[in-house]
Amino acid sequence: MIEPQHQILNGRNFHANEKVAYLLPEDNDEMSRVHKQHVVLKYTLQSNFQAPLQEKLEQGITVLDSGCGPASWVFDMAKDFPNSKFCGIDITSAFSQDTKPSNCEFTIANIAEKIPYPDNHFDFIHQRLLILGLTDANWDFTLKELLRVLKPGGYIELHEPDLHELNNMGPLLQQLQHTMSNMLQSRGMPPKISNELQGRAIKAGFVNAQVEITALKLNHGGQAGKMLWDDYQHGYTNMRPVMAMSNAEWQDEELYAIHIDNCAKEAEALQTSVNWYTCIAQKPL
Ligand SMILES: C[S@@+](CC[C@H](N)C(=O)[O-])C[C@H]1O[C@@H](n2cnc3c(N)ncnc32)[C@H](O)[C@@H]1O
């Protein structure tokens, strides 16, 4: 259990715990964005999970969502699989304790430190979108911790987007993405973590690691593309205070907003898409 610590940057509430690398705010607006993002991802990926666990989830297993945010995935899964038990861990307490289904529990903890569960405890671990949260060393440590708390034969499912190289990326979006990559790199965070999930999972001791890549359309191709762009734009808007540290021009809120609007037009015209990586692996028996 950790004590949340905060700092205000450009009027937004960010983490201020020196052991937490996370770059997005933790206020209501960001939590509402993350909730909407869950809806978009479920719609575009057409499922909440890909590990071959439908039957076991129906029968009843124990599941961890690592970095659960406002717990949208946990609540959704808990409703779909009432016989299974769902545990969420996050550094923020954004999840609602009042409305939580009875088969859910939450812990405020830093996944870059010892995860507060015993060895061989979970049948399934899900972790999504920690690209802005973990340093290079954190990733290796966290994956080893996740291996420790997973039962032998249990599954881990990791989801990350490739935000460095988009398909059909124009110069405006490239400027935004590469500024972010440089900013992540300068903080010791791997900007290409999506491409490294399989190798890192194997290095941590997982086996049968497989990756599936899905190209998600950005601002074209119907409703899903528009919804994904809205999330993208909202995420980048919330990240402006840290992006402006790498590009002084973006300290001007209006100039930054104009750049993002132009990126929207560019992505639509060039039919840009983001590669979404899903890595599924198992703990050896
Ligand atoms: C982009 S959100 C994704 C939330 C959720 N996984 C989802 O996909 O809906 C990333 C979450 O990771 C959490 N996080 C970042 N670094 C963390 C850390 N070191 N330990 C625990 N949680 C962390 C943040 O607080 C945030 O809620």
Tens digit of each residue's pLDDT (9 = 90 or more) over 189-230: 999 999 999 999 999 999 999 999 999 999 999 999 999 999
Q: How far apart are CA 84 and CA 61, in angstroms?
A: 5
Assign 59 a pLDDT band (cuts: 50, 70, 90).
very high
Judge whether residue 6 has pLDDT over 70: no
Task: Report CA dihedral (246, 247, 253, 259) to the nearest 10 degrees.
Answer: -120
Give 46's Cβ-side CA count (13 Å radius): 2
Does the CB atom of residue 88 touch ligand 1 within 6 A? no
Could you tell me which of 141, 173, 181 has the C-alpha nearest to residue 23?
181
Give the Å distance between the CA of 264 and the centre of ligand 1. 26
Give the Å distance between the CA of 123 and the centre of ligand 1. 21
Q: How far apart are CA 136 and CA 126, in angstroms?
A: 19
Q: How far apart are CA 236 and CA 276, in angstroms?
A: 17
Q: Tell me the per-residue pLDDT of 234-261, one tens digit each, with 9 for 90 and over.
A: 989 988 888 888 888 999 999 999 999 9
Q: Tokens for 175?
A: 């400027």
Say what the pLDDT of residue 25 is.
64
The string over 162-171, giving b where at least 16 C-beta atoms fall within 10 Å of a residue's C-beta and e elsewhere, is bbbbbeebbe
Helix axes 253-270, 223-238, angle to 10 degrees: 150
Provide the pairing of β-strand 273-282 with 150-161: antiparallel
Residue 117, C-beta contacts closer than 8 angstroms, at least 6 positions apart: 64, 87, 149
| Tokens 């405890």 -> residue | 121
Say what the pLDDT of residue 12 is.
58
Give the Å distance between the CA of 116 and the centre of ligand 1. 16
Judge whether residue 4 has pLDDT over 60: no
Tell which atom from ligand 1 comes closest to the C-alpha of 31: 27
Does the CB atom of residue 92 touch ligand 1 within 6 A? yes
Could you tell me which of 57, 52, 49 has the C-alpha nearest to residue 78?
57
Say what the pLDDT of residue 34 is.
86
What integer best gives the mean pLDDT of the chain?
A: 91
- As a residue count, the chain comes to 285
Does the CB atom of residue 110 touch ligand 1 within 6 A? yes
Judge whether residue 75 has pLDDT over 70: yes
- Lowest mean pLDDT: which of 60-74, 92-106, 128-142? 92-106
Q: Calculate mean pLDDT across residues 143-149.
A: 98
Judge whether residue 157 has pLDDT over 90: yes
Alpha carbon distance, N-terminus to C-terminus of the chain? 30
